[in-house]
Structure 1
């Protein structure tokens, strides 16, 4: 189906999202001068400045902010129109804009997205990942239609619904002698955790608190920005770290890392689908929501049986 959206508005919306002509050009696969030309033409048509330039940075003007609100509404209306027309033809099509917390984006989403796009090849996917706070902000800004997050949204304009249970496990090198960590052991052990703002970190700190354990009970605490970084640091002998069981399946099977127990401590959480308050998403976002809820049941049961998501336990 042909693109119905006004291209100048699409360029404007992309520049406003990134606050960068260069990044907008990269996102749209056009040259930076072409972006500048489109914005200049739009400003001339409207008779107002849409961006202020201060040094190497650009900012939306008051008029630009007003236009952005309408541009987002128009984008949603165009997507709805495309979807309703496609539904009449019996095909699901249109834009699916997702945001996902890092662990979900790395270890859960690839299988879901692959299967969904195989069934719906006319859907165009865009995915942004980051910690929970970033994904929630993308929802609030209208950049994504649906988020998949690891922690609570903590915003009244965002609704969440659990779709997958997860367990955070404490890992150590496979060569380590310990299989359990006592309260006394913590004092000589470094703890590796995700950064502040991560849903994983909030869940871990809450569980530790309920078990009567504080991060200051450990010899030291190191903040890292991804599960992969934590696994690498643990493998290098820098300490023990918490990661999702989804993130450790491969290393457990290969005998690189192992799970260490702490008496009285179990860290569980729910992965949640997040959306703006209001009507349930329609079109590709609504279909993907239903698809994800149904499909993760099979993935989760495979992980529990074999230690690998949906695997066969080779």
Structure 2
């Protein structure tokens, strides 16, 4: 059984498409199709059913996929054990990250890892913490980085470090900190969308202080932390964000950062992966490197 054919097969399974698999691994679609047909001839069984434009994994294909992952992983382990140049390990690691880890933590992780494994390619998706977890659970990414924990028996977490939230305002705003959450009610407020770790912490703070969201002067919700910061810098409203993100802009005097009186809650950033997903050797090395 040809290992390269198995590798191509796993990519078709993961992308659910011959054309997308071909694009991912830099082959022509006809070459990918030839590899799959050759594999089917070798095994004397159909691996995919072609239903219109869609391809559906057969029961044989589904069982082969699990074996293919194990065989490819074993091949990578053998290469590492034989010490035939660890820098020659090649492959892609798929990462989903929420806004703060994606912008301020992940770049250094990738740099440190690529200093050891120069031929690794990263595919990075940035979204809310909830979407990150969904991607980890359904196996479309290898690892996730986020600012909160979602309990699920399938998930393994590694704690990275902790931080707190702060208030940010434009340079034109006359607020002087530290401020209380009650003082903020009268100001236009920019809020992260539900599903982000920051949104969950702000809601927890409001509940603790017995302030409803209806009492807040919320003028906009945004999925993007970067968009939120731009709104604040443009003096459209104020916001509560991660201290690590706020510091970068405050140092450059692009906005003002204030402590929130009575808000001492801290949160952790985590690396998370699905313990039931068979990870490549590179993904496992990345997880160990982060730890």
Q: Could you tell me the TM-score, scaled by structure 1's length? A: 0.74
Give SS of 1:232's match.
Answer: helix
Structure 1 segment 46-61 matched on structure 2, within 5 A? 46=43, 47-55=45-53, 57-61=54-58
For the 8 Å contact 1:160–1:275, the answer to whether it is kept is yes
Q: Which residue of 2 aligns with 1:109?
A: 106
Give SS of 2:165's match.
Answer: strand
For the 8 Å contact 1:72–1:142, the answer to whether it is kept is no
* Number of residue pairs aligned between Structure 1 and Structure 2: 283
Q: Could you tell me the TM-score, scaled by structure 2's length? A: 0.79
Deviation at 1:35, TM superposition (A): 2.8
The reply on whether 1:6 has 2:3 as its aligned counterpart is: yes
CA distance in 2, matches of 1:235, 1:51: 54
Distance 1:96-1:165 versus aligned 2 partners, 3 A rule: farther
Q: Which residue of 2 aligns with 1:254?
A: 252
| Aligned mate of 1:197, from 191, 195, 198 | 195
Give SS of 1:152's match.
Answer: coil
Query: More relative contact order in 1 or in 2 (CA 8 Å, sep 6+)?
Result: 2
Give SS of 1:216's match.
Answer: coil
| Aligned mate of 1:37, from 24, 34, 37 | 34
Distance 1:209-1:182 versus aligned 2 partners, 3 A rule: closer
| Cα-Cα RMSD | 3.3
Structure 1 segment 253-292 matched on structure 2, within 5 A? 253-277=251-275, 284-285=282-283, 287-292=285-290
Deviation at 1:270, TM superposition (A): 0.5
Give SS of 1:113's match.
Answer: helix
CA distance in 1, matches of 2:72, 2:109: 25
| Contiguous gaps of at least 5 residues in structure 1 | 294-314
| Contiguous gaps of at least 5 residues in structure 2 | none
CA distance in 2, matches of 1:15, 1:204: 42
For the 8 Å contact 2:96–2:141, the answer to whether it is kept is no
Q: Which residue of 1 aligns with 2:240?
A: 242
CA distance in 1, matches of 2:281, 2:30: 34
Deviation at 1:27, TM superposition (A): 1.4
For the 8 Å contact 2:109–2:290, the answer to whether it is kept is yes
